[in-house]
Amino acid sequence: MTTQDCPNCARTHEVGSLQAGAEVSCACGTRFLVRASRAAAPPTGAEEGTLESTFVGGTLAVPGYELLRVLGRGGMGEVWLARQMSLGRRVAVKVLPPRLAKDPEFVQRFDKEATALATLSHPHIVQIIDRGVAGEHYYFVMEYVEGRSLRDVMGELSPPEALRVALQVARALECAQEKDIIHRDLKPENILVDGRGHVKVADFGLAGIRRPDSTERLTATSVAMGTLNYMAPEQRRDAKNVDGRADLFSLGVMLYEMLTGEVPVGRFRLPSERVPGLDKRVDAVVERLLETEPEARPARASEVCRMLEALVSNVSSTGPALEPLSPERSRLRSGWRRVRAALSVMGGLAVLAYGVRGLSDTPVGLPWGEDKRVVLGRLVRVVPSPKPWPANTNGDLFVSSVLEELADGRVRLGVDFVGGEENVNAHAGTWTLEDGQLHAIQGGNDAGGGQLIPRAYLARRYFSSDDFSAEVLMSASALGRGYPEEADAQHYAELSFRVTGLQVSVYAIPGTGMRLSWRYTTPEGRDVVGNSAQEVVDLVQDETPVPQGTFRVKLQLKRKKEGVEVAAYLNGESEPFAHKYLEGLQGRSAKVALGCRNLVCSFDDLVVRGLQAQKESDRSLAETPPE
């Protein structure tokens, strides 16, 4: 079985059935790419599964500890299960990669992390035990928490249990704030729940220490550290200048998700509107925590503790253990979370279902037209018949274009999406011209017996990688209710320079961010695959959020020495949100493509500038896996 770990939470995914370059969506909200081959492993040189496959490579000896196996990986290193030989107890050892150990800034951040954790002693915070340096590896030792992450148990929690978890996290934050420590990366993967239901907050590795007598900040202003879905608005804008109220926002997101099964986005509905019978006082807590402006949130975690304590009866200092869930109840809650939105629009039916449940201990089912009737325990779940996926165009559209010759042999091609003579090849999905825009709606994996190509190409135009830019107005929104759910499905809108075996793309991935990616083969036959989310050394900043509504995206390629400098821009900004020097990409030709995958997308005002080129003899229009 071929597996690959999520780069964010280290959850293992089976990827043997997926093509290299396919995008995998993890339960933590992170999307990552299937590596092309063992040779295309991450910069650490790691392959998963054995001692030799890690960056430690079996060569590290931590004095006093026996390393047993890798527990997980993250941006700050590997975490190992180890045995402390002096006491015979199991511990967790976090090790910094040797590549990062050579970077003074990363070493300083590692030292800050250990120092910060050492000052924290609390029942709901993972305790640091030791720290040190072994050869070129920095490490520190933490207590080992045997249990599951909040992500793993989230679908099993009742509202009272969710409130107890939130209270324990708030108490951990209260302790951290007393030490002027900010977590900065609170998310379900960093909340551990042991077998008794006791909660511990882990990984203060991104913590920034704010001391009254110092203005020093380790995190660069341009880098928004943390995971996007749980990040406070001010942290997205400027990660350097945040305080403990950013952690409280993250707590609010997790509480909302525990209660409703979804993260709050835009104008979200209150929890009591999503969970019938929920105490409306919970709404007030969630609203305060999720205020856009930090000044409107509680000033301290201690205030949040008091608010939650008022909602949780008979709370001890450590919080009562979570009630174990039977397999039947676990399935019931998971099913309820998946269909809660559907039930909410049925109004009286949902109330009726609860009424019947209250009157009878017998499982019941209610008919609903021609739809299936599913009984889960004593709760009725109505499953509507799914909509069919949008039909594939697999044909030509003809749009209007104007070609102008510029200096030095360059051209400017302006494309308007109204009737004309410019040929556009449209493939998977329904592609139409409406109101002067190119609209696309695509879902599912049906390619009509061929390869899935969720794109439209300018059919007769080739451009050189030595001098190329393309920009377009685009929007991306969800397919909406009624379509089948697809596990680990890709979702993106795309602007791309691509042909078979070569692509440089800008992706807008709702819920994840803007991303620059590339895939090609050098003249020497070396495969080059990557994206801006995977970069560490050449990182410009963490992924930029996808704007709401319509936004302008620009992709630029420019010859530079023995390669090409590629850059991606958003909404006319003078600085790219991501860029990368790609050696061996010079002198190539490809087409302009617009993509839409499992979304409703629109495109307008496409402008291409650069050097026109001839089709390469060994290349033709076809698909390469998305990055």
Q: In this predicted structure, what is the pLDDT of residue 556?
A: 97
Domain regions of the chain by residue span? 41-143, 149-309, 327-383, 395-612
DSSP 215: -
Q: In this predicted structure, what is the pLDDT of residue 417?
A: 93
For residue 358, is it left (φ>0), alpha (ψ between -120 and 50) or beta? alpha
- Across 436-509, where does the E strand assignment appear? 437-442, 455-458, 463-477, 492-499, 502-509
**Which numeric CATH code is attached to 149-309?**
1.10.510.10
Q: In this predicted structure, what is the pLDDT of residue 478?
A: 87
Kindly report the three-state secondary structure assignment for every residue of 6-68: CCCCCCEEECCCCCCCCEEECCCCCEEECCCCHHHCCCCCCCCCCHHHCCCCCCCCCCCEEEE
Q: In this predicted structure, what is the pLDDT of residue 449?
A: 63
What Rg value do the Cα atoms of the chain yield, rounded? 26
Q: In this predicted structure, what is the pLDDT of residue 40?
A: 30
As a whole number of angstroms, the distance between CA 417 and CA 426 comes to 13
Q: In this predicted structure, what is the pLDDT of residue 451?
A: 80
Q: In this predicted structure, what is the pLDDT of residue 448?
A: 63
Taking each continuous run of H as one helix and of E as one strand, the counts in the chain are 11, 32
Segments of the chain scoring below 50 in pLDDT? 37-53, 57-58, 207-226, 314-383, 536-541, 618-627
Residue 94 labeled ligand binder: yes
Q: Which CATH superfamily is domain 41-143 in?
A: Phosphorylase Kinase; domain 1 (3.30.200.20)
Q: Which CATH superfamily is domain 395-612 in?
A: Exo-inulinase; domain 1 (2.60.120.560)
Q: In this predicted structure, what is the pLDDT of residue 199?
A: 95
pTM score: 0.46
As a whole number of angstroms, the distance between CA 278 and CA 601 comes to 36
Q: In this predicted structure, what is the pLDDT of residue 365?
A: 32
